[in-house]
Amino acid sequence: MMRKFLSILFNVAVSFIIIVSLLYIISTAQTRNNPDYIPSVLGFTPLTVVSASMSPGIETGDMVIIRKGSKNIKPGDVITYRLEDMLVTHRVKNVTDANATEVFITQGDANSIPDFKIVERGNILGKYVFKIPMGGYIKASLRGLPGIMILIGLILISMMIEVLNYTIARLDKVKNLVDHQMFFNKQSM
């Protein structure tokens, strides 16, 4: 039973690392030709958090997944927007009209005052969907050839564990069948 639990736990961890790695590989491929382009996979964009302005809900090193687009944004939503040459992920505090243009007042959860710049709809990259705790650190550690080798190694180890579990289960069946047959052979003597 413990072996099965550990196998499941290991598979979940490997799957998590594979998903984060695939997101990283796809995003790297998309930005290779255009460094200003913000990559997405099926309309979802993985981003690494580099500040604690959204603590405790979103921590430094977490990977946030945002859905691209700026529709249906209301106070309380967490959005990612472009502020000059950086991306900011903060909560919408208020939505107002300024010069016939809808603008958003944002604030980090850990900040005591709203952001100094208002956000126009055109600067919004997308809306927060979920986070992967420490996913940004995992993504950073899997860069380059060593990261790819680690990923391949984890996949191979996962496959070997599955084969080992399958083999042990089959051997247990055979052992039970042999024990059962020996029991009946002793009874017939």
Whole-number pLDDT of residue 16: 76
Whole-number pLDDT of residue 184: 65
Whole-number pLDDT of residue 189: 61
User: pLDDT-derived band of residue 31, with 50, 70 and 90 as boundaries?
Assistant: low
Q: How far apart are CA 19 and CA 25, in angstroms?
A: 10
Q: What is the DSSP string of 117-160?
A: S-EEGGGEEEEEEEEETTHHHHHHHT-HHHHHHHHHHHHHHHHH
pLDDT tens for 87-135 read: 999 999 999 887 778 899 999 999 999 999 999 988 999 999 999 898 8
The first and second tokens of residue 60, run together, are: 């430094």
Q: How far apart are CA 38 and CA 64, in angstroms?
A: 14
DSSP-derived letter for residue 41 is B
Whole-number pLDDT of residue 92: 96
Q: How far is CA 94 from CA 38, 74, 176, in A?
A: 26, 8, 67
Whole-number pLDDT of residue 18: 74
pLDDT tens for 39-61 read: 777 888 888 899 999 999 999 99
Count of C-beta atoms within a 10 Å radius of residue 27: 19
Amino acid, single-letter form, for residue 44: F
Beta strands 119-120; 101-107: pairing state: antiparallel
HSE value, Cβ hemisphere, 13 Å, CA-based, for 63? 19
Q: How far apart are CA 49 and CA 89, in angstroms?
A: 8
Amino acid, single-letter form, for residue 45: T
